Structure 1
């Protein structure tokens, strides 16, 4: 549950909602960069769930004065670990005020034995990853749902590993293949351009770092 409402200080900023299948609800975002970051959380196979505006944190500046801080997101991984995320453009990170604040926040999290990470556009919008994540999102909406994912997996032959072209032909379309990647029934290296020769494998093989990518 969010600890504060999504607000913008200027009408020039974007805000909106992301339809999360992983969470079964709409996720609020306060900038286009946050929206793009959500694609990473939604389709990372090791992220079990995530929460926007998850908590109110207390940190101390260099003079020992107390301040409040609201992380942008908290990720919960399949192993039970957590990661708090700040999404910030590089131009903001270069200002002394923001840089000093986030350094103090990171120090406070470290003192408490919790993980904290800042994501900028170099991480969030790196290609071809973001393009591939958008393709998963599109496919999750376009692929027919008449056959449940598990039943669709049972129709696959010739495994346990395939080329993307093989599965596209078996399932009569790329969208059903990507739908199974989106639902973690299949894995593929999303850091590489998707092509007919891309390797696809079941998650139980634990190959290719479980199909995960760097956050």
Structure 2
């Protein structure tokens, strides 16, 4: 939960008095602005970013593009922290779509000041529910930021969306998922190797033992890592991956 904070530099800048509005760019490039209440049916997972991802000499963060296996295209990030989180969203089996900088959220503070904020990511789950994500290291969340995060959470609650304020993710999970992400493209799902692996791991086996049972590990392992990325097979990514990591059928 976002902490309650309403006074920033002597001025209230938290949740709005007069309501929210959103502005976004449709998939066809059309700019739109509407009241928040009218935004619920918008497919924000398909919108274009409302801000550019700028690169310049001497900047503190390293922006870039993440190729998403779910979107079949690139999703922008403004820092390596954001890159890690968009990668984890891409790996999440319940997430079906992701967009970066999906919309501007506008509101007017109780002092009459116009305020805006663009969250970092919007994610859609398979059941239609949605997540709005802001990425900020815990030691870099200033009072003015807290006020915007609080307001964004209120706006999400009005639409029944989940709001997440995230910092640095678990580095073991990140390292494991980054390895599997190297095999996220569909070109790594080769037959008949994939079907053989699914048969071999119908009963749990250590990772390398199962790979040897399926054939030559040089050709089998890329397919196995792809099936783990796609959650057709399962492995615990909260502990370091190694040759003896138990691989099993994905729970349905």
Report TM bin, short chain.
0.7 to 0.9
**CA separation of 1:146/1:55 partners in 2, compared to 1, >3 Å: closer, same or farther?**
closer
Corresponding residue to 2:193 among 134, 144, 152: 152
Q: RMSD between aligned alpha carbons?
A: 2.5
Given that 1:140 and 1:175 are in contact with CA atoms closer than 8 Å, whether structure 2 keeps it comes out as no
Corresponding residue to 1:80 among 128, 150, 169: 128
Note the C-alpha offset of 1:162: 2.1
Given that 2:104 and 2:116 are in contact with CA atoms closer than 8 Å, whether structure 1 keeps it comes out as yes
Note the C-alpha offset of 1:175: 2.7
* Cα distance in 1 between the residues matched to 2:87 and 2:189: 25
Corresponding residue to 1:117 among 159, 164, 171: 164
* Cα distance in 1 between the residues matched to 2:159 and 2:184: 38
**CA separation of 1:132/1:102 partners in 2, compared to 1, >3 Å: closer, same or farther?**
same
Specify the structure having the higher radius of gyration (Cα): 2
Name the count of aligned residue pairs: 198
Given that 2:184 and 2:229 are in contact with CA atoms closer than 8 Å, whether structure 1 keeps it comes out as yes
**CA separation of 1:83/1:64 partners in 2, compared to 1, >3 Å: closer, same or farther?**
farther
TM-score for the superposition, normalised by structure 2: 0.69
More helix by percentage? 1
Where do 5+ consecutive residues of structure 2 fail to align?
A: 1-46
Residue of structure 2 in register with 1:213 after alignment: none
Deviations 1:20-48 (A, max 9, x none): 22211111111121112121011112211
Residue of structure 2 in register with 1:138 after alignment: 182
Note the C-alpha offset of 1:120: 0.7
Corresponding residue to 1:37 among 69, 85, 93: 85
* Cα distance in 2 between the residues matched to 1:71 and 1:20: 19
**CA separation of 1:132/1:9 partners in 2, compared to 1, >3 Å: closer, same or farther?**
closer
* Cα distance in 2 between the residues matched to 1:106 and 1:61: 15
Corresponding residue to 1:193 among 240, 248, 252: 240
**CA separation of 1:109/1:144 partners in 2, compared to 1, >3 Å: closer, same or farther?**
closer
**CA separation of 1:10/1:144 partners in 2, compared to 1, >3 Å: closer, same or farther?**
closer
The structure, 1 or 2, with the larger RCO (C-alpha pairs under 8 Å, 6+ apart) is 2
Where do 5+ consecutive residues of structure 1 fail to align?
A: 207-215
* Cα distance in 1 between the residues matched to 2:189 and 2:69: 17
TM-score for the superposition, normalised by structure 1: 0.79
Residue of structure 2 in register with 1:108 after alignment: 155
Corresponding residue to 1:89 among 124, 137, 143: 137
